[in-house]
A = this chain, B = another copy of it.
Amino acid sequence: MRQDLNLFVELCDYLLQEEQKNPVARPVETSELFQKLDLSLNDFGVVDQDLVSNLKSIIKYTPKTASTAFFNQLFGGRVSKATLGDLLAVMLNNSMYTYKVAGPHVGIEKEIINNIIQLSGYPKDSSGTLAAGGSMTNFMALLMARDQKSPEVRAEGLNKTMTLYTSEASHYSISKNAVLSGIGKNNVRLVKTNEKGEMDAAHLEQLVKKDMQAGHTPFFVNATAGTTVLGGFDDITSISKICKTYNLWLHVDGAYCGSVIFSERYKYLVNGLELSDSFSLNAHKMLGTPLGCSIIITKHKAQLHHSFSNEADYLYQTDSDDFNLGKISLQCGRRNDALKLWTLWKSIGKKGLEKIVDHQFELAEYARAYISNHPDYSLYSFDDSISVCFNYRDIPANLLCTALYKEAELMVGFGRFRDTEFVRMVTINTVLKKEDILNFFQTIEAFVSKDLLKSSLPEA
């Protein structure tokens, strides 16, 4: 292993240089991928020297999610203390299902969960766990809600129409999870939103009433803290009132922006969070840990156990359920995704996490100000969102983003709200500075003015 650690460090040095020199890797056409790079797996292996040179070619053409030119996803950057923790998790290779084989890492996961419970205003006897992604934590919330409303489903299976509610602007996983769980896509009600993409609570109530009148069983409302495109926040307090009235489980999907709980200044965006039944956030988004670090907490400790527990006596051989995390996990074996957040939190404190969150809003504010001050741009975003949505000179956003990618200038994507498509730049990479934001806009302007856009478009 020691020798391969040296190879690893050599490859890291190469990667860190490449990120600086070529912040956007030149994309390889999919039709040329297997010719351009040796990705083949064969009967016989290769010597270390060849493996390393092969890996360097792969690194060269790998999209650089930690570079100063990456604005494409709801994650990005590299917060090195979190990376340190995840590297260590790979080396330790513990599975989180039992205390016997995970030991102190069970305590680490519990410490994270308990601190997030406290920051969310949940009661002390709440519980929580980690899953492989935000779609999966949303899935766990839906299942707990289904099982709480109709406990017979776990044994007998579904044989009635259960309905759930989420806004038009929410993540696609809510509908997908309805399919996975046997609820069915037709039983997902998409609630209208206002002009900021926030759920219309009055419409939610209408939909619930209609379903009750039809004899259906409403059971679950998903509110979003950070909608996928616009980065908007549903009004948890008003939604919660409806949930209380009709006895519906309220989940807050904070995969994208739930980490505002760490910020004194921005936590108001999830006002009313303490009224919800479950809440999820992805530390690999706003907090900058490596993928994945998806956390869910719930007030209903017994329901979490009831929905995910299992009797596997080959597995649980020592200690209590409280320390055998497999009893509250979606899956069985589970890699240690807690350590990366713990090393980060331990090294910079909650105050440091707050700075990370606040800085992203500051970068977004700076970007919005730039757009507002330059007449060639149209702004579609609002205050207190880290999704900065805009168009430049009436250039179709999809053409602009694809050209910037193909020409290895910038990694940025486009989004759509109602009838408008626009560039969605995400200021989630917390190691960026204002000059990187400035550089982003100036790169677009230079790119367009050099007529580079035209040359990269398909021929007429």
Contact = CB atoms under 8 A, between A and B. Distances in A.
A93 B82 CA distance: 12
B107 A37 contact: yes
Given A62-B104, A161-B157, A182-B158, A310 B30 contact: no
A90 B87 contact: yes
A59 interface: yes
Contact of A352 (B45, B78, B136, B161): B45
Given A132-B334, A158-B157, A343 B51 contact: yes
B416 A314 contact: yes
A164 B350 CA distance: 48
Complex copy number for this chain? 2
Contacts of A135: 330-333
A432 to B, nearest CB: 15
Interface string A298-342: 000000000010111111011110110000001111111000001
Interface stretch (A11-19, A197-205, A374-382, A452-460): A11-19
A155 B7 CA distance: 50
Contacts of A108: 39, 58
Contact of A290 (B93, B143, B160, B290): B93
Given A9-B9, A318-B405, A91 B292 contact: no
Interface residues of A, number: 148
A121 interface: no
A182 B183 contact: yes
A7 to B, nearest CB: 6
Given A72-B100, A182-B182, A319-B30, A62 B94 contact: yes
Given A101-B65, A347-B48, A133 B182 contact: no
A348 B45 contact: yes
Given A4-B81, A62-B104, A65-B93, A350 B42 contact: yes
Contact of A93 (B66, B178, B186, B350): B66
Contacts of A159: 158-161
B162 A183 contact: no
Interface string A219-244: 00000000011000000000000000
Interface stretch (A169-177, A365-373, A438-446): A169-177
A156 interface: yes
Which 5 A-B pairs give the minimum distances between C-beta atoms? A182-B182, A157-B184, A132-B132, A45-B349, A44-B349
Given A72-B100, A182-B182, A317-B401, 13 more contacts: A4-B84, A8-B84, A30-B319, A30-B323, A41-B350, A43-B351, A51-B343, A59-B92, A75-B93, A132-B335, A291-B334, A292-B335, A314-B415
Interface of A: 1-5, 7-9, 11-13, 15-16, 25, 27-28, 30, 33-34, 37, 39-46, 48, 51, 54-55, 58-59, 61-63, 65-66, 72-73, 75, 78, 80-81, 83-84, 86-88, 90-95, 99-108, 111-112, 115, 131-136, 143, 153-162, 171-173, 175-176, 178-187, 228-229, 282, 284, 290-292, 308, 310-315, 317-320, 322-323, 330-336, 342-343, 345-352, 398, 401-402, 405, 411, 413-416, 424
